[in-house]
Structure 1
């Protein structure tokens, strides 16, 4: 009932609201602080593995870049969403684009490090990344389009947005679902990393369950998303290290066209989609200084 920022706040007011108790304070800090942690992790991996010389680490770097971008984009969207309706739309367009890039970054890393032993170089493995690229682009388009029917049809808008993010995640995670399934078969990947993958999957489903449906649970949604990404990161790095000799023997080496190229292409297309939707976002007249002061005093 209280603690909401003014819907026509200035950029300065939005930044200052980070240090006030508002409805967005936890949404902002629960993604702003992890951004710096993930950035530190990205830099440490670059230095630890000498990534500029070792193409095998490129998929991990793409993934780490994606988990730096999505909490940063979310932080900016939640921080400046109260400037205007147009600013809110555009901010969350970039948030959705970052999430779609995160889904692709996960797929690139899964393709090179996490596939079950018996699926390596199978038809599904060969087509996994191209399909994930299409899913990432589709995710951006669907999520952005979900904002336009938000006021007249909020349930349809939420369902469309959930579909935009749930479908790419479920597809990307097919190799993990196979790996962690209850089985006594020794012909599939069997390693301690599977426990981390189970934790990540559990947190991912909890994230979806909490998505604005239980009370004001968006903050809990943010927390579970970050914890899930952290566990996912640990699992992928362990898979990369433990399975390296076997993967280098059984699977073609990592190339630009199988890692960096798809990521750059999808990023370019997603940015184009975001710019297209941003051009159609509703425009509002900027308040004069006198109007802004009046609105601030009467809020």
Structure 2
């Protein structure tokens, strides 16, 4: 049985496609078997915290979903919220699996991360479903934009998955373009899905809308911004290479916790 504390490698000992900016050590041997990858969850390497900070929230959201579905059953009108909650459990679970299997051979590694991107795109669609049901301003309900909002979100989810998966084929020869494509693949759907939220915040600032949900939306947007900055800048790893080998590369952690919405939001009145 392979040991979870198998010999770890330094950055110069692994192919360039396996390296992370600012992470100099703690790499698992490439071409590891699936069993070795899973056992590595219980030994310290540069992916251990990344895996567990996805896996624990996935378990929490799954428990929250099952508790909502059990007992007396879901509340009336809670369908979009439950769908959203399901995507909150799905994408950190897929991300933890992708990072756990990231030491597989090139084909297995690409497949694992493509599943991760697909799950993240589905999470964006789940957010759109919740926004359409609970966050849309009353004056927009029934409008053309509202009618096409979810279908466009579905299309965005498909395009996001395709573009982010395609970006992996550019990593070796054109890493900057690959990073740009992957960033665009998730930033654009987020901006589109958040249009109702941005509108609410603007109306609240103008004094035309109740701001009771503003703290929630503000935290959500702030965590999304921090996640984007961390993903694109790779800070703080770049500032002190080697100092964050076992706690770096946690950009998506913010997305996990910004997903938390303990109660289905109700519509607010505008005036």
CA shift for structure 1 position 219:
3.6
SS of the residue corresponding to residue 170 of structure 2 reads coil
1:183 aligns to 2:200 (yes or no): no
Which residue of structure 1 lines up, in the alignment, with residue 153 of structure 2? Answer: 132
1:67 aligns to 2:93 (yes or no): no
State which of 212, 224, 242 in structure 2 corresponds to 1:204. Answer: 224
1:156 aligns to 2:177 (yes or no): yes
CA shift for structure 1 position 127:
1.3
State which of 99, 107, 125 in structure 2 corresponds to 1:86. Answer: 107
Which residue of structure 2 lines up, in the alignment, with residue 192 of structure 1? Answer: 212
Cα pair 1:193 1:238 within 8 Å, conserved = no
The superposition leaves residues 67-100 of structure 1 with CA deviations (integer Å, 9 ceiling, x where unpaired) of 1110011111110111211110000010000011
Distance in 2 between residues matched to 1:32 and 1:83, nearest whole Å: 19
Which residue of structure 2 lines up, in the alignment, with residue 170 of structure 1? Answer: 191
Distance in 1 between residues matched to 2:145 and 2:105, nearest whole Å: 45
Q: Which is richer in helix?
A: 1
**Runs of 5+ consecutive residues of structure 1 not aligned to the other structure:** 247-299
**Runs of 5+ consecutive residues of structure 2 not aligned to the other structure:** 1-23, 238-246
Distance in 2 between residues matched to 1:125 and 1:168, nearest whole Å: 16
Which residue of structure 2 lines up, in the alignment, with residue 220 of structure 1? Answer: 250
The superposition leaves residues 246-280 of structure 1 with CA deviations (integer Å, 9 ceiling, x where unpaired) of 8xxxxxxxxxxxxxxxxxxxxxxxxxxxxxxxxxx
CA shift for structure 1 position 228:
1.1
State which of 30, 35, 41 in structure 1 corresponds to 2:64. Answer: 41
Cα pair 1:4 1:22 within 8 Å, conserved = yes
TM-score normalised by length of structure 2: 0.81
Which residue of structure 2 lines up, in the alignment, with residue 32 of structure 1? Answer: 55
CA shift for structure 1 position 61:
1.1
Cα pair 2:91 2:116 within 8 Å, conserved = yes
TM-score normalised by length of structure 1: 0.74
CA shift for structure 1 position 212:
5.1
The Cα RMSD (Å) is 1.9
Distance in 2 between residues matched to 1:45 and 1:122, nearest whole Å: 31
Which residue of structure 2 lines up, in the alignment, with residue 292 of structure 1? Answer: none
